[in-house]
Structures are given as C-alpha cells and as structure tokens.
Chains A and B, each alone.
Chain A
Amino acid sequence: MGSVTVYGPPISTAVSRVLACLQEKDVDFKLVNVDMAKGQHKSPDYLKLQPFGQVPAFQDEHATLFESRAICRYICDKYANRGNQSLLGRSGGGPAERAQVEQWLEAESQSFNPPSSVLVFQLAFAPRMGLPQDPAAIELNQAKLARVLDVYERRLGESRFLAGDEFSLADLAHLPNAHHIFAARKDDMFASRKNVARWWEEISTRPSWKKVVDMYSAAPPA
C-alpha cells in the first residue's frame, strides 16, 4: 500500500474523477502535478505514461494506466475490500448488477460528458484563460445537455441514484463536470428538474467529493 500515484492537475475534470474514486475507496495516493501551461503533458517522459498526452495518468505497483473511467474501474476492482464496496454494484451482485452501473457510466461518458465538457470549457476555463466564449457553442450544448437531463429526470423519479438505490461509479463520474457548471452559476437546468436537483444535492455533498474540491484551491504539489 501507499504506492498509488496520480499525475495531473487536480482541477482537471478527468483527474478529479479519479481522485473522487480514490477518496470513496479510502485509498491513499500521491498527486503529482503536470503543468499543462508549460507543455509538461507532451514531454517524452510523460508520453511514456500516457501516449495521448492527456491527463490523468495513474500508477500503482501493479499497473500504469490512462483514461479516468478505466482507472476508476481498476481502483474498484483492485481495492475491492476498501472503503465504499458498492461502486460497481453490491459485492455478490454478479455481472448483471455490475452491468446496471456500467450502462449508466457509459451514458455519462457518451451522452452527458460531450455537451457538459464543452460547457465546462466555455463557462469555467475559457474566462480563466482569457479566451473568448462562443455563444453558439454554449447554446447548442445547453440544448443537448437539457435533453440528457430530461432522461435523467425520468430515471431519477424511479430510483434514488442512476443505477439503482446505491451511489455508484455512474453517479460519481458526473461530479467534476457538473461541479464546474454549478460553480459558474449556470446550473438552472439542474435546479429546475426536481429529481435531478435532489440527486445532485445528495451526490455533491458526499464527504469524498468535498475533499476533492478542497484540493482545487490548495497550492499545486511539486
């Protein structure tokens, strides 16, 4: 134990997805910053960890991995007996129960992530980086996201969390992008849907997520 390293700036949505999972699983880790403004993510050494030059990368004594959702699944499988043990379905639930989580995790990845990522860039990061916003892109992606949230609203009217009655990796995966949309005060589409609002309140106030958000304002580690 004690050999888990995550590479990347904590404010990156994909990096914080992994950090949230590690917190839920009570797995200690070291965070090594990657200075993207200085192009560290394209250095030959970093490309050995992550051949696409993206963040995060992950390393423990058994594996070096990339892609935040693959890393999260690995953390749940490898550290199965630690922390929250129902992130990929209850233990003993079998493939069908895991698959319920997996389909909503893929829904996050394929339906929620694309429009919300554009909004996160436009609303949270572009202003910070002094880049102009693109109103057409904002409008288009708000409309796409609204349709996804309509599906979520119906689903969350019949179950407490996306995959069922337990918080899972599927819910966790939404935390980073939604957080930035809320922080930019553009959360009307969440707030105006009763079940989505209830779900967001529950998942965003989990202690594990608060620990990740605290890391955003801490000084980046060396």
Chain B
Amino acid sequence: MGSVKVFGPAMSTAVSRVMACLLEKEMPFQLLPIHLPKAQHKSPDFLKLQPFGQVPAFQDGDGTTLFESRAICRYICDQFAGQGNRSLLGPEGGGAADRARVDQWVEAEAHSFNPPSSALVFQLVFAPSMRLKQDPAAIRENEAKLRKVLGVYERRLAESRFLAGNEFSLADLATDKAELLTSRKNVARWWEDISARPSWKKVLDMRGAPPA
C-alpha cells in the first residue's frame, strides 16, 4: 500500500484545491513538485498521468490515478468518507439532494467565479512579475464579470454562512483570490472564515516552503 501522491506546484490553485481537501479529510499525502518553467508537465512520464499536460495529477495508495482537481476532490470525499471532515459533499448521512445542493455551487465556482478571477489574478499579479504587458480590455471585461458573480455570492452569503449552506463544503474550498474579495460585507466575512481554516493555513505554509 503506497502513499497518496499529489503531483504539481503548491502555488497552483488547482493543486492547492486537492491539498486542502486532503488536509480537511486528514489524509496524509506526499506533494511531488512539477516544475512548470522546465516543462516537466509536458514530459512523457507526466503525460501518462495527465494526458492534457496540466496540474495536478493524483495517485491513490492503491495505484488509482486521476486528473482534474474537482474530480479528485469528489473521489477523496467518497473514498475516505468516514474520516476527517465528513460534510464536504453535504451533511453526513445526507442523500442525493444534499450532495447536489453542494455540487451546484462547486460547478458555479468552476464556471462563474474561477474564469474571471483567474484571468484577473494573471493580469494583476502574474503578468507584472513575469514582465508581460497587461491587457486593459481583459482587465475591464473580467472585473465586470467578477463583480456580477460577487453580487450573487453577496446575496447568497446573506442567507447562509457558507455557499452551499451552514457548513463549510467543497464549494468553499480553495477559493484563492483574497485581494479581490474584501469589498463586500458578506463575502469578506466568508473569506475571513474560510481562509482561517487550519487546512488552508497549511496549504499557504506549503507554498512558502522552498522548492525541492
């Protein structure tokens, strides 16, 4: 029985999503860094794990390999259902409807929140540090999209503590863009709650560690 392995750089939001989930589930794991600037993610060995050449890849102790962070998280929740946080995919002992009520917000994060916020983080944080030219039209367009999404989140978080209900769930996990979120009262409250979780602090520690 081997150990659980996550492949990818800790700085990646998608990799962090999987790590945060494993930490919430109290599952020990090994992080095997993949050095993107050296194109390790395009090596033949890595492509066997992840045919799209993206991070993360995941390997269970029994040899099951998976890709796509949200699929990996759903698997971790199902496979290790009895340990750690048992309400990441709906209340413990809940049924299909409970799970779906969480899943719809996981999908909303994936389709509505993640695209504009990733684009903005790239433009505002990474482009300058990589000495790439910023694209003002892209910034305007994505700020407008994100404003609309945060408006929905603000209304939602006025009626429930977390996105899917009153328990922290997969839908809240690994929201990663603090600098964009603090101007709305309920969203700010929610961000403070979820970013204070020990599992997220551990992910941030791992990012701060020097690369292997």
Contacts and interface: CB of A to CB of B under 8 A. Distances in A.
Interface in A108-151: 109-111, 114, 148, 151
Interface residues of A, number: 32
Given A77-B96, A98-B78, A99-B74, A51 B155 contact: yes
A51 B51 contact: no
Given A63-B101, A70-B104, 13 more contacts: A65-B101, A65-B104, A66-B108, A67-B111, A70-B106, A71-B104, A74-B100, A77-B100, A78-B100, A96-B60, A100-B66, A102-B74, A103-B66
Contacts of B97: 62-63, 74, 78
- Majority SS at the chain A contact face: helix
11 contacts: A62-B96, A65-B100, A67-B108, A70-B106, A96-B60, A99-B66, A105-B71, A109-B111, A114-B115, A154-B51, A155-B51
Contacts of B112: 52
A191 interface: no
B5 interface: no
Q: What does DSSP make chain B's interface, helix, strand, loop or mixed?
A: helix
B110 A95 contact: no
A156 to B, nearest CB: 11
Contacts of A77: 96, 99-100
A112 B4 CA distance: 28
A19 B106 CA distance: 21
Interface of A: 51-52, 62-63, 65-67, 69-71, 73-74, 77-78, 95-96, 98-100, 102-103, 105-107, 109-111, 114, 148, 151, 154-155
Contacts of B95: 62, 78
B71 A96 contact: no
B71 A67 contact: no
A72 B48 CA distance: 29
B129 interface: no
Given A67-B104, A70-B104, A98-B78, A106 B156 contact: no
Contacts of B79: 95-96, 99
B9 to A, nearest CB: 18
